[in-house]
C-alpha cells in the first residue's frame, strides 16, 4: 500500500520539525506548507504533544 505525502504518517524527522517550528511561533499553516502534510495531521501532532506536556505537568504537581 502506497501512502501519499499528505497522509497521516509522520516520520520522526517531521515530528522534530513540527516541534521546532512550534517553538519559534510558526502557525499551523506555515508548518503544513513546510513539511507537506495536511493541516489535520499537524494539528493532531501538536495536540498530542500538548496533552503529553499537560499530563506530565499534572503528575509533577500532584507528587
pLDDT above 80 for 60: no
Domain parsing of the chain, residue ranges:
12-62
pLDDT digits (tens, 9 = 90+) for 5-49: 556 689 999 999 999 999 999 999 999 999 999 999 999 999 998
The C-alpha cell that represents 33 in the structure block: 506548507
Closest of 33, 44, 60, 47 to residue 10, by C-alpha? 44
DSSP state letters, the chain: ----TTSS---HHHHHHHHHHHHTT--HHHHHHHHT--HHHHHHHHHHHHHHHHHHHHHHHH-
**CA–CA separation, 12 and 30 (whole Å):** 19
Can you give the pTM of this predicted structure?
Answer: 0.71
At 1 the pLDDT is 45
At 58 the pLDDT is 59
Higher confidence at residue 54 or residue 28? Answer: 28
Amino acid at each position: 500500500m502506497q501512502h501519499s505525502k499528505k497522509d497521516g504518517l509522520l516520520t520522526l524527522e517531521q515530528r522534530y520539525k513540527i516541534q521546532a517550528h512550534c517553538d519559534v511561533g510558526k502557525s499551523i499553516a506555515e508548518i503544513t506548507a513546510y513539511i507537506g502534510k495536511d493541516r489535520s495531521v499537524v494539528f493532531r501532532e501538536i495536540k498530542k504533544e500538548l496533552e503529553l506536556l499537560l499530563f506530565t505537568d499534572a503528575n509533577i504537581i500532584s507528587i
